[in-house]
């Protein structure tokens, strides 16, 4: 395994800061989340709707930890420009209605920051008539401005401080998604 994928972030990358959640803790917590959530859907085979791209790693580990069969669907949400949040843009697959109508639906998202992404995704899914709609986010950020308005997740993996973070699916301009841990990121941006 290359150096940047070990517990200590790339020593030559000045933007990559402390590891907030190690790979081991992530795997243990996801096993615990799957065990805690699955009984809610006993005998009902849920549809897990993953919010791409950030949730790819979480979805892959969550479904493999899940003790029962599940179905998966991807929707895409984009809101960040580098480290700055913006308006949420959703891309839904054309057959989403067939996949979720009348089914128990669990939205799977990587990180809850302002809550805008989860609210938008849930609003779009509600309109398609799921039997019920819940959500799990792996990371919940404690924002400096206090708790966000909007729909809150039903399950949370980790509560983290208000830093921009990368790794375990989360990117900065397309990079760092492959890191198996979550690390603080301090971009060296010019012009601001
Ligand atoms: P929200 O809409 O709740 O403000 O933000 C949720 C989305 O913004 C997440 O699904 C994630 O894609 C992105 N996001 C929020 N905070 C961070 C962060 O610290 N790092 C990265 N890489 N993405 C983030
Ligand atoms: Mg996201």
Residue 142 class from Cβ within 10 Å (0-12 exposed, 13-18 middle, 19+ buried)? Answer: exposed
Question: What's the CA gap between 61 and 174, in Å, rounded?
Answer: 21
Q: What's the angle, vertex CA 140, arms to CA 28 and CA 143, rounded to 5?
A: 145
Inform me whether the pLDDT recorded for 60 exceeds 90.
yes
Both tokens assigned to 6: 């070990």
Instruction: Encode pLDDT of 80-130 as tens digits.
Output: 777 777 788 999 999 999 999 999 999 999 999 999 999 999 999 999 999
Sorted by sequence, the CB contacts under 8 Å of residue 176 that are 6+ apart come out as: 16, 166, 167, 170, 183, 185
The whole-number pLDDT of residue 87 equals 84
Residue 107 · residue 155 · CB < 8 Å: no
Which of 17-26, 59-68, 79-88 is predicted with the least confidence, judged by mean pLDDT? Answer: 79-88
Ligand 1: residue whose CA is nearest its atom 17:
164
Span 167-174, average pLDDT? 96
CATH class of 23-163: alpha beta
Residue whose CB lies within 8 A of the most ligand 1 atoms, among 170, 171, 183, for a mutation test: 170
Ligand 1: residue whose CA is nearest its atom 16:
113
Shortest-distance ligand to the CA of residue 85: 1
Rounded to the nearest angstrom, the distance between the alpha carbon of 170 and the centre of ligand 2 is 8
């Amino acid at each position: 395994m290359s150096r940047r994928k070990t517990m200590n972030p790339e020593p030559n990358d000045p933007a990559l800061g402390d590891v907030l959640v190690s790979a081991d803790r992530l795997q243990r917590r996801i096993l615990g989340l799957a065990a805690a959530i699955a009984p809610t859907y006993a005998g009902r085979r849920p549809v897990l709707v993953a919010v791409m791209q950030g949730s790819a790693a979480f979805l892959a580990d969550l479904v493999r930890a899940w003790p029962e069969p599940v179905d998966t669907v991807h929707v895409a949400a984009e809101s960040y420009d580098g480290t700055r949040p913006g308006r949420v843009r959703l891309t839904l697959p054309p057959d989403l209605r067939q996949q979720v109508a009348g089914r128990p639906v669990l939205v799977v998202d990587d990180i809850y920051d302002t809550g805008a992404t989860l609210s938008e995704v849930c609003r779009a899914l509600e309109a398609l008539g799921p039997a019920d709609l819940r959500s799990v986010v792996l990371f919940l950020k404690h924002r400096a401005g206090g708790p966000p308005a909007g729909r809150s997740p039903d399950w949370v993996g980790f509560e983290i401080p208000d830093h921009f973070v990368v790794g375990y699916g989360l990117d900065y301009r397309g990079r760092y998604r492959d890191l198996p841990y979550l690390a603080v990121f301090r971009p060296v941006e010019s012009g601001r």
